[in-house]
Amino acid sequence: MKYSTVKVNGLNVFYRESGDSNKPTFLLLHGFPTASHMFRNLMPILENDFHVIAPDFIGFGQSDAPVHTEFKYTFVNLTNYVDGFLDAMKIDKFYMYVFDYGAPIGFNLAVKYPDRILGIVSQNGNIYQEGLGSKWEGRRSYWANPTEELRENYKSAFKPETIIGQYTGGEKAGSVSPDGYTLDIHYTESPDYAERQSDLIFDYQSNVANYPKYQKYVREYQPEIIAAWGKNDPSFVYQGAQSFTKDDKNTEVHLLDGGHFVLETHYQEIGQLILNKWA
């Protein structure tokens, strides 16, 4: 495993990398509130068959995090930096693994470069209205009427107990290692964290607006998709996984007995699904 940074548009993007760069690349795109360390158990499973690479988005993990008054924390901008990262690393065609926030970023890339995508793993990486759990009704109200009070209320998403709940919800008691959520909680203590993440919560509405665009890509290009979903996730419910099948005949759906962070407990199973299909 290699850990390094590369400059993209003047900012340092941290990444972890393993495997032979002459083999097909597997790009791993994390979500909120985590970073590339969420793939720490998956990468060793894939590294013999793929060149595996996982960047931290700008504002996350070990990558640079400009203050929100000097950087636009939008999904379009985060996508631009992942795009620049791929250019800097000279990565052309790739498989991609998308989770949570990584889904709109990954599908933005797929819409822009459809011929570069070799295959997709969507792990609780939603692009369908059917996949939005009940909590999103409140978010829609906030997007329609973005008061400062509501912005403050949504900062509860960054509290330690909320993050621990995201990891352990829907999982068997005692099955989730504290390593991932402890590091995520540490990252919330960085300067300006709540403000930049609040900007992204507000901007998530742009991803929902883009769902038809992402679905059109799936319908037209019929990429091979593994929808490996924690079926007990209250945020992105399992109907989001099943919805891929209505647009793409090359979709496999695997509903796993876990929650939002199902990779924490099912990394061996998900890794084997990938190897069975593409190795």
Residue 74, SS3 per DSSP: coil
CB burial class (10 A; 0-12, 13-18, 19+) of residue 277? middle
Pairing of strands 117-122, 94-98: parallel
Token pair recorded at residue 192: 């300006």
* CA atoms of 215 and 66, how far apart (whole Å): 32
Per the CB < 8 A criterion, the answer to whether 243 and 218 are in contact is no
Nearest alpha-carbon partner for 52 in 78, 89, 79 = 89
Separation in Å, CA 104 to CA 30, 58, 65, 108, 217: 11, 15, 20, 6, 12
Dihedral, CA of residue 20, residue 270, residue 101 and residue 140, to nearest 10: 170
Q: Would you name the residues annotated as active-site residues?
A: 260
Q: What is residue 119's three-state secondary structure? A: strand
CA distance 123 to 230: 7
Say which amino acid occupies 144.
A
Distance (Å, rounded) from C-alpha 114 to C-alpha 80? Answer: 16
Question: Which position has the token pair 């990938």?
Answer: 274
Pairing of strands 11-18, 25-29: unpaired
What span, in angstroms and rounded, lies between the C-alpha atoms of 17 and 94? 14
